Homo-oligomer: A and B are copies of this chain.
């Protein structure tokens, strides 16, 4: 007996509506000297579920090696806490910065190492490094056995207050940032402030951009704190930076927990204020700009546009620009107006790519007050060109009486 392909089914079978609730939990810890032998935090986190010793592998950012004895410390620490965990294979060293996300063989190497070490889903992958390295390792860990426990140990300001604490990972492909990746919360995040002491000036500063971003859309008081402490931040005052990281992490985490759409199933991404231009400028400058430096420009651009379009008062706009400058950010690069007559201007291609990555309708966050954002779905490119020329000519003060 065979079924006639044209024949309608005799049974009426209604659709089954499926609903799958999942709740993820993780802790973000703050410490100094994570791998010091008298610091039990890492061992405690690894054995918090009761069983042990656990298997682990470590992936380490090559950029740390000139400044920190991470490899030796890892060996000594794992020996001291041998009842809690073992590192059976040598740490994988991956290049620092965006290079970590541009080389697909690094992903394969981490997968290969996970298999070599016979890790199971309840084993651990330790990702130690800057935001880019953590994005790469997170993607590898999330896709092996459909997800091995990931402990993120971010070593930059940006990693500790933003990219290292959220629910995303990713690598670049086809010339597009984060073309490949997943949503996958970590098992835990361990922020070690000791790593910040050896950051170069640009990396120290870069992480402040994401703090300013979240302050501008969520918390006017936090913006005032950063404005008031700009000089202390430039002078690398440790306590001020720790307070900035903690508050920024709190705001990011609270948003992710309460947004109702942590896996971005909709079209809105309110935390990405200033980011459409930032992502594109990183690419247009061949990653000469650090992510935070590009975000600072993106914030300046979207704040200026918010002012020109009438949402934001001139005084607030000027305070934003002044704070970005006081922290030491440059707010213009020539790539912002490369081929200004070209249609479309290369920078504005970033709007299309931002929409394409997120899906659905274009949704941009602008500002209507310090501490309060406002979403729009259309933009006026002529006004954006005006905003760019204001930033290029550093004419923010001239606009005072406008």
Binding site for B on A (CB under 8 A): 1-11, 13-33, 36, 51, 111-112, 115, 118-123, 142-148, 165, 167-168, 170, 173-174, 176, 178-185, 193-194, 196-198, 235-239, 242-243, 246, 249-250, 253, 256-257, 262-264, 267, 355-361
Contacts and interface: CB of A to CB of B under 8 A. Distances in A.
A182 B179 contact: no
B263 A147 contact: yes
B182 A142 contact: yes
A16 B28 contact: yes
B253 A16 contact: yes
A23 B24 contact: no
A32 B156 CA distance: 56
Contact of A17 (B27, B176, B249, B355): B27
8 contacts: A2-B197, A3-B238, A5-B33, A8-B33, A17-B25, A20-B24, A121-B264, A143-B181
Contact of A143 (B7, B180, B243): B180
A170 B182 CA distance: 14
Copies of this chain, complex-wide, total: 2
A46 to B, nearest CB: 13
Contact of A5 (B28, B185, B197, B243): B197
A327 B308 CA distance: 73
A359 B120 contact: yes
Nearest to A30: B13
Contacts of A119: 356
A179 B27 contact: no
Contact of A253 (B9, B13, B18, B180): B18
Contact of A23 (B21, B33, B144, B238): B21
Given A238-B3, A357-B121, A16 B249 contact: yes
Contact of A20 (B11, B142, B185): B185
Nearest to A360: B122
B173 A20 contact: no
A46 B299 CA distance: 36
